Amino acid sequence: MTLERLASVDAMRAYQREWLESTRAHAQRGGPFILCNSDEFEDILNAFEIPSLVINYWNFVILRSGNARPLQRQLIERGYPGPHFFSLGYATALDPAQAPWGGLPTPRLLVGSSRNDYERRVCELWAEKLGCPLFPIDFNFGSPRATPLPGDWWRTVRTDWRALTDPARVEGRYEQVRAFLNYLERDLGRPLPIADIAAAMERINRQMDIWMEADALIAGARVHPIAFRDQLAMYQAMWHRGRPDGVRLVSDYRDEIAERVARGVAGYAESGLRVLFWSVNAEPDFHAWMRERFGAIIVASPYSAMPAMYARDFDPADPLLALSARHTLLFQLTPEWMVAEAERHRCDLIISSEAIGDHGSVNERAAEAAGIPFLAIPQGTPPADAEQRLERFFSERLGRKPG
Amino acid sequence: MRTIGYICDNVPLELIEAAGFRAHRVSARPVATTALVDRHVKPELPFRAARPSLTESILDAILGGRVGPLDHLVIPRGSDPVTEMYVELLLAKRRSPDLPIPTLHFLDRNVWPSEEARAFNGRAIERLRAQLETWAGGSIDAEKLRETIGRHNARRARMRAVTDERARVDRDVAGSAALAAYAMETPRLPDSPAGARRLRLFLGGSEVGDASIYRWLEDHDATVVAEDHGLGQRLGEADADADEEGCPFAAIAARFDKMPGWSASMPLAERARQTVRRATAAHADAAILYVHRHDRLAAWEAPTLKDALADAGIPTLLINEASGDPDLDAESGAAIESFLRENRR
C-alpha cells in the first residue's frame, strides 16, 4: 500500500530540494559555501545566512542516489576499510562522476568533525582533496565523554545544562567557537554580531517548542496520525534551525498534525501494537513486514524528542556559552530516556538496534523493569533474520498471532 | 610508595613522581576473549562500537585487577578506545561495585593544535596537578619537579641512544631487544653483532601490546629498526624544557601539548612527515603498516602514510583488518612473508 505524504512534509521536501539547488547555484557563482559537520557550527552559519551543507545530510543524498556502492569500492581499493557512511562525501571528491549533480562546488572551508578519530581523519583527507582549510572544533557531543551523564539528564538539559556539562570542555569549546567566529568575520569581510546569534537562538527555541507541540499531539492522539517515514522526512527542518523558514516549516507541520488528530486521520491502515524504535538509523526494512503481519507500527524513535534537545536557555548577552555547551551535550541514548519516550508515546514494546549480548543490556533491564517488552535487533541484521526474531518475539513473548 | 597507573604514552610521569608516587604503565597482551568487558561494560553501553583487541584487553585487565596493585589510575585522552575507558570503568564500577577498579582521573586534551588547544591542555595539566596533590595530601614542590624532569630527560636521552644504535647499518639490532630496552629504567641494548644484514623494517599502523610481531619478523630474517607506536622510539622523543617560561609546571604543560597519545599526531600530514623521518633516519629497507581490526584511526591514516613512504622510496605493505592477536593470523603472516621475500630480492 502506498502511503500518502502529509502536505507539510511534502512542502518540507520541496523546500529542501529548492534550497539545495539555489545553494549550489550560489556556490557555482563564487559565493561563499561551507561544508559543516552536523551539530558543530551550523546554527551560527544559519544565523548569518551563510550557505552551508551538513556533511551527513550530503552523505544521505549520496546514499539515496544509489551510487554508494561504487564509491565504497573506490575507498576499499584505496585501502580504507568500511563501514563507510561518513566517508561517502569524501569518496565523491575522489570521483565526482559518481556524485549527485557531479559533485559539490568547492567549499570555502570545512568545519568539523571532532566526533571521533575516524571522522576527523576523513575530514582532513576531504579538505586536502578539495583544497580548502579545515577547522575541527574539538569536544563535540559525540566525542568520548569526560563525564558520565545522570540517567534523567534530558529533563533538565534545556535549563540546567551547566550542571550536566563538563565545565572545562565547555570553556574549551567556547574559546574555539569564538576564535572561529573571528576567523569567519575576517574571511568573509563582514561583521557577525553576537546579537544576531542570540536572535537565531531565540528562533531555535521557538522552532523546537513548536516541533515538540506536534510531537505531543502525535503521542497523545487516539489514532496515530502520521507514518514514521514522514516523521523522519520532517527532520530536514533541522538543517534550517534558527532560520525564519525553519520556524514556518515546523509550524505548518504542527498545524497539519493538529488537524489530522482532530479528524482522526490515520497514518497507517494498520493499527494495533505501538512500537518505539530505539535507533538513530533510518526506518528499518522490517517495519512494513511487521505492520502487515502483526499490525505493529513504529510511532516514535529518538528523533521524536530530538527537537527538545536543541533548545537551550541562554544569556542574550552571551549566547555562545549555551551554544558551546550544547555542542558538547546534545543527547545520549540512555535507558531512562528510552523508557520515558516509550511511556510518553504509549508504546507496547521497544525495538532497539543494539548488539545482542549474553548478559542483558541496560536498555533491556530498564524496559522490562518498566513492564515494556523489549527486543534487540542489531543494525545490519539481514531482513530474513530480523523477521524470524520478530516472529518469535511476537508469538512467544507477546502471544500475538499473525493477523 | 603508592602507585599510580597510567595508560598510553603521553601522561606526564615527571608530575606523578614529583608528587611522590610510583608511575606504572598499564598495558596488556592482546587476547581474543575479554569476558569481563562482555559482562560489565558492554551491557551498560548497548550501542558501543567494536574495539581493537589491544584496548579491549587492557580494559579487561583493569576490570580483573590484573594490572598490578594500583592506588589510582590516570586515563588520558588518546585514541577513542583509550579515552572511552574512563567512562566505561565508571559505569562498570556503578554496575559492579566490587570490581577492583582504582580511583580514576581523566586527563583531557584538545587534540588539534591551536592557541586555544594549548590553553586547554595547560588547564588539563593544572587539574592533574590538583588531583595528584589531593591524592598525595600535599603540594608538589617545583624543585622536586625539576629533578624528575631532569631524570626523565636523561632517560629519554638514553632511549635516543638506543634509537641511534638501531639506525646504524653496520649493526644488527633486534627490534625486540630495543623494545625491551625502552622499557628499562636505564635503557640499554645488549651487544649486537656487527655486519649481519637482515631486512630492515619500519613498523607502523596500530599500537602494539608487546614484542610478538617483532619476534615473528626476527624469526623470518627481518628486524624492526624504527617504529611508530607507544612502546617504541617515541618514548625517547621530545624532552621537557624545565626552564620553559621559568616554571617546571609550564614545561610539563608544553610537552603535554606537543605530545599526542598513541602517536595520533594532528594533522595527518604531520604524522606522515614523522613516519618518513623515522623510517629514513633508521635506513629502513621497507615498511609494514599493520592495522588491527576495528582500529579506525590507524585504518584512516595508513594509506596516507603508505603514499608518503612510497614517495620517500620505501616499499610498504599495508595490512588492514588484522586480528591484532599476538599470534599472527595466517593471512597476515602469508602476506608479510611474501612481502619480505619480494624485498630481499
CATH number of residue A101's parent domain: 3.40.50
| Of B133, B151, B134, B64, the residue nearest B102 (C-alpha) | B64
**Grid coordinates of B79:** 585514541
Tell me if B267 and A124 make a contact (CB, 8 A cut-off). Answer: yes
Asked if residue A146 belongs to a domain, the reply is yes
What pLDDT, on a 0 to 100 scale, did the predictor assign at position A189?
94
- How many other CB atoms sit within 10 Å of the CB of residue A357? 15
Bridge partners of residue B105, in order along the sequence: B74
Bridge partners of residue A278, in order along the sequence: A352
Tell me the shortest Cα–Cα distance from A187 to chain B, in angstroms.
Answer: 18
CA nearest to B49 within chain A: A355
Same domain? For A146 and A251 the reply is yes
Same domain? For A113 and A165 the reply is no
Chain A CB within 8 Å of residue B262 CB: no
Same domain? For A314 and A166 the reply is yes
Q: Which of A85, A106, A137 is the last residue of a domain?
A: A137
Asked if residue A325 belongs to a domain, the reply is yes
What pLDDT, on a 0 to 100 scale, did the predictor assign at position B72?
98
d(CA B191, CA A50) in angstroms, rounded, equals 65
Of residues A118, A122, A358, nearest to B38 (C-beta): A358
| Of A274, A269, A281, the residue nearest A343 (C-alpha) | A274
Tell me the shortest Cα–Cα distance from B296 to chain A, in angstroms.
Answer: 6
Residue range(s) defining the domain that contains residue A299: 7-31+138-397
Q: pLDDT by residue (tens digit) across A345-369? A: 999 999 999 999 888 999 999 999 9
Q: Which residues contact B235 (CB under 8 A, 6 or more apart)?
A: B9, B156, B159, B182
Tell me if B318 and A79 make a contact (CB, 8 A cut-off). Answer: yes
What pLDDT, on a 0 to 100 scale, did the predictor assign at position B12?
97
Tell me if B80 and A144 make a contact (CB, 8 A cut-off). Answer: yes
Looking at residues A137-157, what average pLDDT do you find?
A: 91
What pLDDT, on a 0 to 100 scale, did the predictor assign at position B196?
66
Give one DSSP letter per residue of B286-309, joined into a string: EEEEEEETT-HHHHHHHHHHHHHH
| Of A253, A203, A246, the residue nearest A231 (C-alpha) | A253
Of residues B79, B115, B117, nearest to A117 (C-beta): B79
Which site among B112, B265, B293, B295 would you substitute to test the A interface, given the most A Cβ atoms closer than 10 Å to its Cβ? Answer: B112
**Quick check: bond before A83 cis, omega within 30?**
yes
Number of domains in chain A: 2
- How many other CB atoms sit within 10 Å of the CB of residue B58? 27
- Helix B80-95 to helix B53-63 angle (10° resolution) is 30
Same domain? For A13 and A105 the reply is no
Same domain? For A23 and A44 the reply is no
Q: Which of A122, A137, A152 is the last residue of a domain?
A: A137
Chain A CB within 8 Å of residue B111 CB: yes
Tell me if A175 and B300 make a contact (CB, 8 A cut-off). Answer: no
Asked if residue A403 belongs to a domain, the reply is no
Same domain? For A55 and A19 the reply is no
| Of A99, A70, A72, the residue nearest A85 (C-alpha) | A72
Same domain? For A326 and A258 the reply is yes
* Range with the poorest average pLDDT among A110-119, B123-132, B155-164: A110-119
Q: pLDDT by residue (tens digit) across B241-272? A: 887 778 999 999 999 999 887 667 889 999 99
Same domain? For A227 and A312 the reply is yes
d(CA A333, CA A352) in angstroms, rounded, equals 11
Residue A2 pLDDT exceeds 60: no
Same domain? For A199 and A302 the reply is yes
Asked if residue A18 belongs to a domain, the reply is yes
Q: pLDDT by residue (tens digit) across A75-85? A: 999 999 988 99
Same domain? For A74 and A207 the reply is no
Q: What is the CATH number of the domain that holds A142?
A: 3.40.50.11900
HEC sequence for B277-288: HHHHHCCCCEEE
Task: Residue A333: list chain B partners with CB under 8 A.
Answer: 46-47
pLDDT over 70 percentage in chain A: 99
Same domain? For A254 and A211 the reply is yes
Tell me if B267 and A358 make a contact (CB, 8 A cut-off). Answer: no
pLDDT tier for residue B110 given thresholds of 50, 70 and 90: very high
Asked if residue A402 belongs to a domain, the reply is no
Tell me if B111 and A176 make a contact (CB, 8 A cut-off). Answer: no
Same domain? For A76 and A195 the reply is no
- Output the pTM of the full model: 0.95
Residue whose entry in the numeric block shows the C-alpha cell 585504518: B299
Distance of alpha carbon B43 from the chain centroid: 28
The helix or strand, by DSSP H or E, that contains position B222, with its residue range, turns out to be: strand B222-227
Asked if residue A2 belongs to a domain, the reply is no
CA nearest to B75 within chain A: A146
Contact B224, B214 (CB under 8 A): yes
Q: Which of A75, A102, A137 is the last residue of a domain?
A: A137
Asked if residue A106 belongs to a domain, the reply is yes
Asked if residue A154 belongs to a domain, the reply is yes
Task: Residue B47: list chain A partners with CB under 8 A.
Answer: 333, 353-355
Mean pLDDT of chain B: 94
Q: Beta-strand (E) ranges in A227-325?
A: 274-278, 297-300
The DSSP output letter for B104 is E
Query: How would you class A382 by CB atoms within 10 Å of its CB: exposed for 0-12, middle for 13-18, buried for 19 or more?
Result: exposed
